[in-house]
Structure 1
Amino acid sequence: MTESSTGRALQIDGLDVYYGRVHALRELSIHVDEGEIVALLGNNGAGKTTTLASVSGVVPARSGRIQAFGTDVTTAKPWEIVGAGVVHVPEGRRIFSRLTIHENLQLGGYLVKDEKVVDQRIEEVYERLPRLAERRTQQGGTLSGGEQQMLAVGRALVAGPRLLMLDEPSMGLAPLIVAQIMDLVQRINESGTSVLLVEQNARAALRIAHRAYVVENGEITLEGPAKELAADSRVIDAYLGA
């Protein structure tokens, strides 16, 4: 991995990704500045999840370049990318249902060599999310959908992310819980963590994001400040309704 520019949490340039013969991402270019929340909007199959999977090193790029905090991670292994400070909360939460909340959180620190640091981060998660603290010995699979999403985010925080990538954190949740999740994301960002937010709930995402991109068929079709996109008739018609 080679060093490059700084000031950017994430820089993606000309990314092409294929699934067999399917051209999933087409010269996609986006960036996240340090301290930003950037939303990536689009319909199912547009390429949002593929973008995060490519950054995480799970799906290889055919061409293009990915940089995280000035370091080229285009061909890095997933654990190297986590080590560089980029942590991905996947769609569907993917917590370990038979493990307790505390055990799930401990797994978030699997790359952290200092156990005291892991313990300190877990306590910080409990302070931030007291509902998890109250249930720390409860199996993850017995939690509500919203609590499982909070656990998935908490587990990611134990890894010590500088850039947190969230894939559909509001999926399947009641509006009140969605508001709580978005508030959590905003508070995480205010504490110094950059965020790339993939979200079908465009209204909720644009409410907290600084900037946003719209992806269609693997290509960026719109980009700009979140407030401007929220007022853009094309975004309103496609994603926000009347």
Structure 2
Amino acid sequence: MRTVLDIKGLEVTYGKVEALRGVDLSVGDREIVALLGNNGAGKSTTVSAISGVVRSRAGTIAAYGEDITAATPWSIVERGIVHVPEGRRIFSRLTVHENLQIGGYTVREGTSVDKRITQVYELFPRLAERRHQQGGTLSGGEQQMLAIGRAMVAGPRLIMLDEPSMGLAPLVVAQVMDAIASINESGTAVLLIEQNARAALKVAHRGYVIDSGRVTLTGPAAELRTDPQVVEAYLGA
């Protein structure tokens, strides 16, 4: 399997606080990889370092064999790596359609943007019904769909989703996870950052558990679902 993303020995500090301490992580082509952990474990810092928003103190980040450790956030997007941040961060005063159009700002061909927006509407029919509504009027689940859809308009080879299930009802979480599986089946690799281990491990192929800035456990998702440490810490008895 070709490696899309390969992280070695990643270290990030905030002042004197060590947020990441030697993280190793990889994502293969057409793979869904879950990064699990509690609040403050280092999940969001990891994805922020990958996307160039946070700078690492040590370690390397490679995409398709190319070192992107010091690359700018916009050049990382141009390489096909797109980050959907925690909290959705849509443009609340713009319509659904306008939000999706902004997702294609790095795409040079307008026809490609239009085609991808059509595909987003097929993936999320609810967005198609609300294409003329302002983003701020959508429900939490619809806003999450819009944030994911906006990222897909960029045509990513790897999409990184930071806590996509946060604050959503169980039924909506299931819908979002189904959409993530569909995106992956279409050929896009996924790095799924989640506290909701139960939902994440249902769709992921592999997983990593991070605690206090270190990867403490890794393996196939099916094995992690039954691992005693994961069951006790994240899945309940």
TM-score range, shorter chain: over 0.9
Q: Partners of 1:56 and 1:73 in 2: how far apart?
A: 9
- Give the equivalent residue in structure 1 for 2:97: 102
Task: Quote how far apart the aligned CAs of 1:156 are.
Answer: 0.2
Query: What amino acid is aligned across from residue 162 of structure 2 in structure 1?
Result: D
Q: Partners of 1:239 and 1:215 in 2: how far apart?
A: 12
2:106 is aligned with 1:115:
no
Identity %: 67
Report matched runs for 1:6-45 at 5 Å: 7-45=2-40
Which of 181, 184, 194 is 1:186 aligned to? 181
Secondary structure of the residue that 1:94 maps to in structure 2?
A: coil
Tell me the TM-score normalised to structure 1 length. 0.97
2:114 is aligned with 1:126:
no
- Give the equivalent residue in structure 1 for 2:213: 218
Task: Quote how far apart the aligned CAs of 1:221 are.
Answer: 0.2
Report matched runs for 1:163-242 at 5 Å: 163-242=158-237
Tell me the TM-score normalised to structure 2 length. 0.99
For structure 1, list consecutive stretches of 5 or more residues without a partner in the other structure.
1-5
Task: Quote how far apart the aligned CAs of 1:7 are.
Answer: 1.4
Secondary structure of the residue that 1:228 maps to in structure 2?
A: helix
Secondary structure of the residue that 1:182 maps to in structure 2?
A: helix
Task: Quote how far apart the aligned CAs of 1:115 are.
Answer: 1.1
Secondary structure of the residue that 2:49 maps to in structure 1?
A: helix
Let me know the Cα RMSD of the aligned residues: 0.8
Q: Partners of 2:131 and 2:199 in 1: how far apart?
A: 29
Q: Partners of 1:210 and 1:128 in 2: how far apart?
A: 21
Which of 70, 76, 82 is 1:75 aligned to? 70
Secondary structure of the residue that 2:7 maps to in structure 1?
A: strand
Q: Partners of 1:100 and 1:56 in 2: how far apart?
A: 26
For structure 2, list consecutive stretches of 5 or more residues without a partner in the other structure.
none
Q: Partners of 2:62 and 2:48 in 1: how far apart?
A: 14
Query: What amino acid is aligned across from residue 174 of structure 1 in structure 2?
Result: A
Q: Partners of 1:79 and 1:71 in 2: how far apart?
A: 16
Runs of 4+ in structure 1 off by over 6 angstroms are none
